[in-house]
A and B are shown apart, each in its own frame.
Chain A
Amino acid sequence: MSEKKIMLEARNVDVFYGEFQAIKNIDMKINEKSVTAFIGPSGCGKSTFLRVLNRMNDYVEGFALRGEIEIDGEKIYRKSVKVEELRKKVGMVFQKPNPFPKSIYENVAFGLKIQGITDKAFIEERVINSLKQVALWDEVKDQLKKSALALSGGQQQRLCIARTLAVEPSVILMDEPTSALDPISTSKIEELLQDLKKKYTIVIVTHNMQQAARVSDDTAFFYMGELIEFDKTDKIFTNPSMEKTESYITGRFG
């Protein structure tokens, strides 16, 4: 079996919001082309840590990071790093579907257009390709000019995923992507993840432990800003090493 290379690495990472320390000394290595789930009770820091990976926390007052985050061999918290470039490699899907109030086509094309790409044929190909990857193409191919806001919640979220795929990232970060969706849309997106992981490295924050168990290869359990346990998902859910992990996943707290 070939060794997967490490796509994401965190070393001694601390995160502060002003005086408050939100993340304490995290070390983590994430393999390429896999799905990693971040679980933990509310306020444990899993969303904060996710956002650290594409520097979305830069906009928060008082944010400071110590330690090193490396993505695909590149340290991302150097002054020389252009945040816009980083986000082409590391895409993000949010909890509540947030398509732009534009047409379906324009939504998916947005990421390409802001890079200055004007080749219409190229853009069109990427749009079609992305919509196909999220299994939305057949549903919308005749209505590309229609407003994205007219789609259902599940479709909107798949559109948001397609929008992210259009710029061909290496990593996709997902912050509770299905918590606002109905069960059928949720399961469609979970199936989508199994396909996507063949090409992309996916990190997904989820409140739903069954979801984490279903979709991920590896699971990280966060608690009060610390990484308590990080291991293969089947190990975490059948025989975790740490008692806190066991308490959390068996529902004894949180």
Chain B
Amino acid sequence: MDYESARILGKLIGAGLATLGMIGAGLGIGVVGSGALQAMGRNPDASGMIQTNMVLGIAFAEAVAIYSLVVALLILFVG
């Protein structure tokens, strides 16, 4: 096949493969959430502080998913 269509094919496959990194982020968010819920169950008085730190942990874990999304978008639009 010619160069242009091979390039577009490579772009699309690359962008699709780059989103596989979100698996780890999804698992990470689940682990953070489960830890937070268990802590809230043991100590309901500390729910406010636990919730604040849980949102922080989720933001860190979600950032990794966003990195993989940005890589996919870069491959699609800037490659």
Question: A and B from one assembly?
Answer: no
Residues of A within 8 A of B (CB): none
